[in-house]
Chain A
Amino acid sequence: MTTTVSTPSGARHREPGAATGRPPARDRWVRRAPLLPALVFLIVVTQVPFLVTLVISSLHWNVLRPGERSFAGLSNYGTVFTDNRLRAAVINTVVLTASVVVVSVLVGLALAVLLDRRFPGRGLARTLLIAPFLVMPVAAALIWKHAIYNPTYGLLNGSLTWVWELFGADSGPSVDWISSMPMTAVVVSLVWQWTPFMMLILLAGLQAQPGDVLEAAKVDGASPLKTFRFITLPHLRQYLELSALLGSIYILQTFDAVFTITQGGPGTATTNLPYEIYLTMFRKYEYGEAAAAGVVVVIGTIVVATFALRVFSSLFREEVGR
């Protein structure tokens, strides 16, 4: 893509279209042509909406007051940065995402290690373990809300009552799980949903492990724990990073679980950014403010993601450093 014309004297200079250089411009475009529809499509579906969002974020636009649309400049951004609710939502989002990613990676790792061994019924066990990921998020959230957490007919309180009855009590404690521990309730349901995803990636990593290295370790008398710590874990590093990265990207956008299980409550205890933006859009009907919040979130995410990738991750480094 370089089109630099002035080159220092003595440097190798290629005329466009020279026999030894790149093919002529026309040929290059012919070669790229089949990719163009995809490129145009990508721009239309990702960048155009973003530009529209930028425009909307500079408007005073409440849909309940038609005819009062006006230019707002940056005042919507001012509202976003000074809004207490939004600040609380940022913290909730970080807590929610971090805890779900960490827990589901750990559980996923444990399950992947177990599944990496041969045992009868392994295929069945693997399928069953993947199942939660295949359940639609809203359906999963409904199951958790009604069948498991419900204080009167939920599975958790039902089990507690059963245990209590075993010891002769009339009825067990009636814990209102969603009100008393809302964030934990959401995190647990998400961990259930996302563990299979982590497990799949890590399992692929484990199975890509060269067998001769493991055998050599065995011959040298390394204990299984040491083998895992010094051979398997370093090998898995990229897979762990990948699963944490993808997990963060998806769980950051979590909406279904929050919307269904807690409605962001009690108060704003589980209101994360997507839900807060939804509320601004669908309950307050302030399109400008919602768009501004959306833009801020996207920019924030890009900054954090870039920083995290540069500092911690070996995923995008050219040299793996073997």
Chain B
Amino acid sequence: MVRRPVLAVAVGAVLVASGCAGAGGGGGDGDSQSINVLMVGNPQMEDIQQLTADSFTKDTGIKVNFTILPENELRDKVTQEVATGAGQYDLATIGAYEAPIWAQNGWLAEFTSYVDKDSAFDKGDLIKPIVDSLTVDGKLMAVPFYGESSFLMYRKDILESKGVTLPERPTWQQVADAAAKVDNAQPGMRGICLRGLPGWGEMFAPLTTVVNTFGGTWFTKDWQAQVNSPQFTEAVQFYVDLVRKHGEAGAAQAGFTECLNAMSQSKVAMWYDATSAAGSLEDPKVSNVAGKIGYAYAPVKETESAGWLWTWAWTMPKTTKHADAAAKFALWASSKEYEKLVGEKLGWARVPSGKRVSTYSLPEYQEVSAAFGDITLKSIEGAKPTDPGTQERPTVGIQYVTIPEFADLGTKVSQEISAVIAGRGTVQAALADGQKLAEEVAKKYQK
């Protein structure tokens, strides 16, 4: 007698709950005049999403459907998409880490033939280390959209008010001392923003450059794991201490985007991150601190330079059915013409820079980038992916190790370090666990 209403409620509840789960659904495949693009949610990509309809689509009739995801999620999705040959997307943004690995697996279509055909593209103008990082066996596997190294950004006005000066090539100790002095210079302002969000491409991008310049490395030339070495430990301890004492609020959850917000809203006085961030910080439309920022080369300790090298580049999965249209879009997005379009429509500071030498000799760009343009170009050109630290490395790459296992290894170790930043556990324990994982990975390569 009592059973009936109970079951009715049960059925109703199940229906309600499962009805909520049915949201979502992907985009259609569309006709040949439409391509699907999957890209990372950085400001440069948001700009292109805004500009495409009125110029590219208008000129060529090719409709572009964008999907934008945060960095970590983008990697999940692109990797699945490319590895399984799902064929849902015609173009995706990948970085210097993925290009060589994926090209070797035969997942990517090459761009050399398209680039050679388009004389206006001027491939000789592309910055060499960037092109090198995307070239496999003499073939260009992805077209760079923008390139970056890393450097230190700081509030000139705040440092001045506290009587702190930083040289053009500071050491990490000088940066730490400056952070201590400018901490709380304004109510709610912290000394420095450093990424604490787990992820090999989030926290470990800046952190590995610190490890490099402290004399540490993930692996030696002959694949001996070095994660719990004294130098690696010292570097991580330094980074964690600096973030915990003078770092941004919510550091364990802060990645590039969070730090960009913190910096442009005057919540931090310094920030060590990608050179491409300068474009957003110097744009008065999105930033409160335009014109107040000074720039210095990536801080060092044992090495002469420490900046990373990275590029976000367009790549075509082999499974694409609209290769010509997709290539056309990629070449347009990476062209001089597009840089000009951004400059005129959105402001010259927001040009996706760091991939063409000619960008830095455009008078309009020189004007807005006076503070950071030169230092950016020199950082990118001076980056040494083959020799980033104090010892020889088994693979090419500065802030990552170019093996498929590094994504998992870097992410797991960064989770533990992020926990230390949040106040759980110690650096020693985190790196001891990391060493075990790294040894497991190294076994496959030791011969």
Contacts and interface: CB of A to CB of B under 8 A. Distances in A.
Interface string B376-417: 000000000000000000000000000010011001000110
B187 A267 contact: no
Nearest to B8: A204
A201 B267 CA distance: 46
Interface string A157-197: 00000000000001100101011101000000000000001
B252 A176 contact: yes
B421 interface: yes
Interface string B406-432: 011001000110111111110000000
Given A264-B415, A283-B411, A246 B422 contact: no
Interface string A244-286: 0010001000000000001111111100000000010011110
Interface in B194-216: 197-198
The interface residues of chain B, by DSSP majority, are classed as helix
Interface in A43-87: 62-66
B2 interface: yes
A322 B3 CA distance: 12
B198 A204 contact: no
Chain A interface size, as a band, is 35 or more
Given A134-B20, A152-B249, A283-B76, 17 more contacts: A66-B106, A151-B250, A152-B188, A179-B251, A182-B422, A205-B5, A242-B6, A242-B9, A242-B10, A246-B14, A263-B197, A263-B198, A265-B415, A266-B252, A267-B420, A284-B407, A285-B83
A137 B21 CA distance: 9
A151 B249 contact: yes
A111 interface: no
Given A62-B404, A63-B83, A171 B252 contact: no
A144 interface: no
A208 interface: yes
B198 A63 contact: no
Contact of B415 (A62, A66, A268): A268
A197 B13 contact: yes
Contact of B422 (A66, A208, A266): A266
- Going nearest first, the 9 A-B pairs with the smallest beta carbon separation are A267-B419, A266-B422, A179-B422, A64-B404, A266-B419, A151-B249, A284-B408, A151-B250, A282-B76
A174 B188 contact: yes
14 contacts: A64-B404, A174-B249, A179-B423, A205-B6, A242-B10, A250-B17, A265-B198, A265-B252, A267-B416, A268-B415, A269-B419, A285-B83, A285-B404, A320-B1
A152 to B, nearest CB: 5
B80 interface: yes
B83 to A, nearest CB: 4
Nearest to A241: B6
A182 B420 CA distance: 14
A66 B80 CA distance: 12
B105 interface: yes
B126 interface: no
Contacts of A265: 198, 252, 415, 418-419, 422
B32 interface: no
Given A152-B249, A178-B253, A282 B80 contact: yes
Contacts of A197: 13, 16-17
B9 A204 contact: yes
A248 to B, nearest CB: 13
A238 B2 contact: yes
Contact of B79 (A65, A182, A262, A285): A285
Nearest to A139: B23
- Specify which of B10, B79, B418 lies most central, judged by the most chain A CB atoms within 10 Å of its CB: B10
B278 interface: no
Given A63-B84, A178-B253, A246-B14, A170 B5 contact: no
A179 B20 contact: no
A179 B101 contact: no
Contacts of A283: 76, 407-408, 411
